[in-house]
Structure 1
Amino acid sequence: MKYTQTTTDISGNLLYKPVKLSGGASKDVKKVTQLMLDAVKQHRRLWRKEINHWQQARQIRHSLEFPQNYPMQEVYLDIMLDAQLTGITQNRTFRTTNKEYIIVNAEGKKDDKCTEFIKEKSWFEKFIEYTHETTYFGTGLVWFNNILKGEIKGIETIDRAHVIPELGLFVPDVNTNKGLQYADAPHYLIEVQMYDSIGLLEKAAPFTILKRHSWGSWDEFEELFGVPIRIAKIASQSESVKQEVAGWLEEMGSSPYGVFPIGTEIEIKENSKGDAFNVFYHKIQALREELSMLVLHQTMTTENGGSKAQGTVHENTLGELVFADEKKMLSILNDKLLPAMRFFGYPIPEGFKFSIAQTKDTKEQIKIDQVFIQGGYILKQSYIEEVYGTEIESMPTQATKIPSEPKKN
């Protein structure tokens, strides 16, 4: 079979001349390429977003007549500058993307040959990461733009500002709702959505913005009351002397000493309300907990405090959340990515599907394996190497005596 490299570039402008793919045309790469328009480069507005920006973005995003996504995505990118929000979202994402994804046969056993199609492939890692991020940012669109000899070589993740999932549109100009129905280019353009089309960041935005305000107020409080005020009293009424002494006070900075002329009295006034910072501190802490509850459904894996029993409950809660994420991810992989891979030429038989390898705790597993060994069972070399990561040159025979553990005195 003769293979040719197929790449697609964003070129042309068919906004008012839609292309329909049907029958054999659905495999025509040139026509699929025509479906990707000249996306207008949008300059991201970098000013700080406030509550009113979030409210306006929500109104536009939920509009029935003219929904737009870019104002909300600008708010999302701004609030993601928050260190805690970045940390907890990545914490949740890594718990799903760091799993070992495999392809299993109809009996549920791992197929090594098919698993090699995705193992350590950058495009696959990019696909699952971008897919999981839709939990926070809302619906995304993946473009398979580089296929070589029946193998995926590269994908492009489309800026979500250009995607309007309610209309099924890719819009090259974010200020319009005219674009391409990406359902017309199946396999090449895949819509991915973990949960809802809006994303969790819609709920996280007000907490993050309010927390930013509290940080700013705390900073102003520190400038006003954090450093003791130094007052210089001088006998002279000369303006030049006043300015000179004021210069000396300024040059002191954080130094504990200064040299002043005779007759100058230095008075230091400290803030008597040392606990006033708690107003800002406790508000920030409350907002941190709200964000953790929203993204992770618990707080103790990110915040300090609590007993071991409480920590176990919170860890179990997070475990249930991660399990739900894994189920959603596998649904997308099996319902959308697997058909696309078959379309591009991957020889994956019917009945095969994506799965997640079940990792074993080696400390617990060795206790179980010892019971089997003591019962006379012989473990396979491949099993031992896979579970314990140890290369074995040869296996003992059944006649080989298993050394017993030394008796403890």
Structure 2
Amino acid sequence: MTNRKRKKQQAGAVPKKIVTPVYNQILVQPVHRGINDIGIWKSALRAADMGLRSKLYDLYEDILMDGTVTDAIGKRIEAITDCDINFTVNKKEVPRMTELIDTVEFENQLKEIMWTLFWGISVDEYSFVNGFDFNSIPRKHIRPKEKLILRRQYDTDGISYSDDGMIIQWGEDDDLGLLLKVAPYVIYKRGGFGDWAQFVELFGMPQRIGKYNSMDEQSRRLLIQAFEEAGSAPYIVIPKESDVEQTTLSGSSNGALYNDFRNACNEEILITVLGQTMTTKDGASLSQSKVHMEVQEKKHRSDRRFVIRMLNKYFVPLLESRGYPVHGGKFSFVDKKDELTVSDLKTLSTMIPIPRSYGYEKYGIPEPKDGEEVFMGAPADTGNDDRPAKAVKPQVGTVENADERTLWERIKSFFVAAPHPGGAGIIRMSDTSPLDERLIAAVWNGELAGFSPELFRFFAEDFLKAVRTAFEEGPRNADVGVAYKLSDDLFRMATEQNLFHFSAAKTLAEIQELNRLFRESGSFGEFHRRAKETTEVFNKTWQRTEYETAVLTAEGMSTYRKLRTKKKVYPFWEYLTVNDGRVREEHMKLHGVILPENDPRWNKIYPPNGWACRCLVTGRMKHQVKVDLEEMRRRVDDFLKTAEWKKAEAQGWGVNRCDSAQVFTADQMYIRKFPQQASSYLKDMTAERWNLPGVQAMKRDASGNIPVSGRSEQEVWETYAEDGRIVLTDYDGRKVVVEKKQFDSHTAGKGRDNRIRYWDAMLEALHAPDEVWLNDEIKHDLLDTYCLLKYYRDEVLAVNYRIEGEKLVLKTWYVMQTRTPGNRKVNLKKEIWDKRRRGLLIKKRRSASSRPSEP
């Protein structure tokens, strides 16, 4: 000992104690690997309730060997680590914290916090010797309620961390995590896999069957010996007198039940972790996928809030105690508003005012100053002058914008070379090219940003063909005794209107998706490949499923309305499946259920009960029913508790669409809140966008002038009225009702424009319209008004009707203004025309001026 040290000890000085990190004092034992069953899970849970978590955590380690579990958990963790995160003080980023965030250790910290949700708790010990670092304490060594860390996992006492400023516990003391809920399904699935493997081993390979004479014992022994010697060889040698057959097991007992059980366990695992299944497993339509994506996004938002709160509550004080400049600051994820696409911004600009400065800030483009040179789209007559144009400051109060391009077109002009590194340029397609190729080329060329009339016609024609064929031919899945032709034209009209809405929503969704792919692609080759995959899914895969669903729904509607009219003959209805190998297992639980026709359960279970569901209902007379109705009701109630039905209900099923004339419900539309807010999406779809000639061209192509009737309103009423109302027929043979009050308000009301003189023209418009539009002229938030236009050389007559209750009601008829007196502007006339010639074009007259295309 040196003199200096001896003097310090003599003076009472104590040598400085070096604190050993807790993590380095722990003696970690290997994970116990064994065969787990539900009994072990329950035993481990009971022990955890008493504070002993070792067995439960060993079980968790085993559970995490399951691929479905790790994939689902990975999705939630990656949604956190894949997001940008920052630390700000007074809304300004702190450079030192930015450096810390951009480290592997910090990303591991985010993962550790997320694992808390699945394990229940995490305890981390921090070190700042060589910068920021931490070690995660093995969970089997943690006693969270006592705030102890055990050196050995079975110790009764340990090191307290309650006041240790270098240790943070994430999670609540009594939380056992989501893995507790997942564990039973993984255990069940493994047991089912084992049974399936045994089934395959026993019955998967062909069996050899040897036959011998029961009186010849020698032959039997020789046959057994031959089989034993053959082993797995493809041949055996047997006496001539023996008979051997080889059979392959087939039929319904093919192990499908094990696969269904496996899928059921996987679905429960995914629902527990992600809240839904379709982002991991395949679905039937985009509408379903969007619903599932919304559920998953809610999970991700919840996780982001959890992580941020944990960091700000526990991690920031720790960093401040270590001298990091974090006082008054907080962690936050980059706001989702920063991820608005150009298409989103364009759509929002039609709903709310957005300052121009936002566009410059969002896309990192400096706003030009007065007189500053700016890049513009090349003008047609540039000559040899390559100098950029001067920026012109808009005058305050200016009504018209000199640049009439859309926001997307203006922004795109700044980046015109970005998506075309290969110099592909404009892609030209002929009219004979496939539809998907024309769509892809139009999006690439910047010619298709919102809605495609051609794609809408493709969808609408396909769906209309599906329901009309079913209505005309009668239901092939129904009992012959109740098959019939649907004669309710109003019901069919409502059904077709639903299909027009669905086709429009699907068109909007597909075009939006193609434009998104365009923005994300770096070359035409990449865009074409991804767009081709998208159109294949929209126009073939999903369309096949939706077409079949439309056919089956129309058949169900036909049967339903027939049964409703014959409820005195058939007071009971029976639920039947097709009863073949493709029937859903859950739907088989309803096979043979008989209930009274007025039982409210039919409003939930009347088929179809899912995409391409082929179940049906048939009528039963009173003397044919000899069942326990209470037992039948219990069967239905049990079905309504199944995961299959709850999943179908979440996808828009679980309602009697046969009573509401809806092939596709609002929840199954590809666009949210469509058709309730459809006008906001389709308000720009005027005749020009539908490639129709202008009003004046249509008038020139007309055959004559508008007919004028000389009859009075009284004479017209006496001629056409019956039972206090007038019933007319439209172009599709549907009955259109004119009520007395409506008739008087249009003909004899004070200040009216003598509209009775156009009665004959109105009849012509009903019988042979030149254009039929489905728009929102009556109610400005719904596409449920039929606007029929009839062109004459001197005038244009418009007729409006819509479904109201159980009637198709004529709302109005009038001469559409096509001439403006005095000095009124031409654009005023176009506004008047576009108000009527807008929305969904569902019928048009072929003319010399129009293009040969008709929905």
User: What TM-score do you get using the length of structure 2 for normalisation?
Assistant: 0.38
Q: Deviation of residue 398 (structure 1)?
A: 2.7
Partner of 2:263: 285
Partner of 1:122: 104
Partner of 1:403: 377
2:33 is the counterpart of 1:69: no
Hey, what's the Cα distance between the residues in 1 that align with 2:371 and 2:139? 60
- The counterpart of 1:347, out of the listed 304, 322, 325, is 325
SS of 2:185's equivalent in the other structure is helix
Partner of 2:245: 267
- After superposition, where does 1:188-227 map in structure 2 within 5 Å? 188-193=166-171, 197-227=175-205
Q: Deviation of residue 93 (structure 1)?
A: 1.3
Contact 1:54–1:72 at 8 Å: present in 2 too?
yes
Hey, what's the Cα distance between the residues in 2 that align with 1:76 and 1:268? 46
For the structure 1 residues 159 and 397, does the alpha-carbon distance in structure 2 shift closer, same or farther, using more than 3 Å as the test? Answer: farther
Partner of 2:18: 30
- After superposition, where does 1:360-375 map in structure 2 within 5 Å? 360-364=339-343
Note the alpha carbon deviations across 1:64-115, whole angstroms, 9 max, x for none: xxx11211100101111111111111111111222111112223x4x15144
Partner of 2:143: 164
Q: Deviation of residue 272 (structure 1)?
A: 4.5
Q: Deviation of residue 216 (structure 1)?
A: 0.5
Amino acid at match of 1:46: R
Hey, what's the Cα distance between the residues in 1 that align with 2:371 and 2:356? 11
2:334 is the counterpart of 1:357: yes
Q: Deviation of residue 279 (structure 1)?
A: 2.0
Once the two structures are overlaid, the 10-residue window that deviates more, 33-42 or 215-224, is 33-42
For the structure 1 residues 376 and 132, does the alpha-carbon distance in structure 2 shift closer, same or farther, using more than 3 Å as the test? Answer: closer
2:218 is the counterpart of 1:237: yes
How many residues align structurally? 359
Contact 1:230–1:267 at 8 Å: present in 2 too?
yes
Contact 1:68–1:174 at 8 Å: present in 2 too?
no
Note the alpha carbon deviations across 1:200-219, whole angstroms, 9 max, x for none: 11111111101111111011
Hey, what's the Cα distance between the residues in 2 that align with 1:397 and 1:250? 93
Once the two structures are overlaid, the 10-residue window that deviates more, 51-60 or 229-238, is 229-238
For the structure 1 residues 376 and 200, does the alpha-carbon distance in structure 2 shift closer, same or farther, using more than 3 Å as the test? Answer: closer
Partner of 2:744: none
Partner of 2:753: none
Identity of aligned residues (%): 23
Partner of 1:87: 71
Amino acid at match of 1:160: R
Note the alpha carbon deviations across 1:323-379, whole angstroms, 9 max, x for none: 11111100111111111112222223x2211011135255447859999xxx97697
Q: Deviation of residue 133 (structure 1)?
A: 0.7
Hey, what's the Cα distance between the residues in 1 that align with 2:362 and 2:75? 31
SS of 1:147's equivalent in the other structure is coil
For the structure 1 residues 221 and 194, does the alpha-carbon distance in structure 2 shift closer, same or farther, using more than 3 Å as the test? Answer: same
Note the alpha carbon deviations across 1:111-138, whole angstroms, 9 max, x for none: 1514423233111111110110111111
Q: Deviation of residue 247 (structure 1)?
A: 4.3
Contact 2:223–2:242 at 8 Å: present in 1 too?
no
Hey, what's the Cα distance between the residues in 1 that align with 2:314 and 2:72? 28
- The counterpart of 1:183, out of the listed 156, 162, 182, is 162
Contact 1:214–1:284 at 8 Å: present in 2 too?
yes
Q: Deviation of residue 242 (structure 1)?
A: 4.2
Amino acid at match of 2:192: S
Q: Deviation of residue 384 (structure 1)?
A: 4.2
Gaps of 5+ in 1: 1-27
Hey, what's the Cα distance between the residues in 2 that align with 1:102 and 1:312? 29
Amino acid at match of 2:274: L
Contact 1:118–1:124 at 8 Å: present in 2 too?
yes
Hey, what's the Cα distance between the residues in 2 that align with 1:89 and 1:170? 27
Contact 1:48–1:78 at 8 Å: present in 2 too?
no
Partner of 1:51: 38
For the structure 1 residues 305 and 194, does the alpha-carbon distance in structure 2 shift closer, same or farther, using more than 3 Å as the test? Answer: farther
For the structure 1 residues 355 and 99, does the alpha-carbon distance in structure 2 shift closer, same or farther, using more than 3 Å as the test? Answer: same
Note the alpha carbon deviations across 1:178-212, whole angstroms, 9 max, x for none: 112212212x1111128962101111111110111
SS of 1:285's equivalent in the other structure is helix
Contact 1:143–1:155 at 8 Å: present in 2 too?
yes
Hey, what's the Cα distance between the residues in 2 that align with 1:60 and 1:276? 41
Partner of 1:7: none
Contact 1:143–1:189 at 8 Å: present in 2 too?
yes
Note the alpha carbon deviations across 1:215-255, whole angstroms, 9 max, x for none: 11011111111112112446882798446522453232xx5
Hey, what's the Cα distance between the residues in 1 that align with 2:371 and 2:322? 47
Hey, what's the Cα distance between the residues in 1 that align with 2:176 and 2:146? 13
Once the two structures are overlaid, the 10-residue window that deviates more, 360-369 or 292-301, is 360-369
SS of 2:151's equivalent in the other structure is coil
Partner of 1:327: 305
- The counterpart of 1:301, out of the listed 275, 279, 287, is 279
Contact 2:23–2:135 at 8 Å: present in 1 too?
no
2:124 is the counterpart of 1:142: yes
Contact 1:103–1:114 at 8 Å: present in 2 too?
no
Greater relative contact order: 1 or 2 (C-alpha under 8 angstroms, separation 6 or more)? 1
Hey, what's the Cα distance between the residues in 1 that align with 2:154 and 2:89? 47
- The counterpart of 1:251, out of the listed 219, 228, 232, is 232
**Aligned CA-pair RMSD:** 3.5
User: What TM-score do you get using the length of structure 1 for normalisation?
Assistant: 0.77
Contact 1:68–1:177 at 8 Å: present in 2 too?
no
Hey, what's the Cα distance between the residues in 2 that align with 1:401 and 1:232? 88
Contact 2:219–2:239 at 8 Å: present in 1 too?
no
Contact 2:144–2:173 at 8 Å: present in 1 too?
no
Note the alpha carbon deviations across 1:249-292, whole angstroms, 9 max, x for none: 3232xx5x666664453211332444341221221111111111
Contact 1:142–1:189 at 8 Å: present in 2 too?
yes
Contact 2:122–2:171 at 8 Å: present in 1 too?
yes
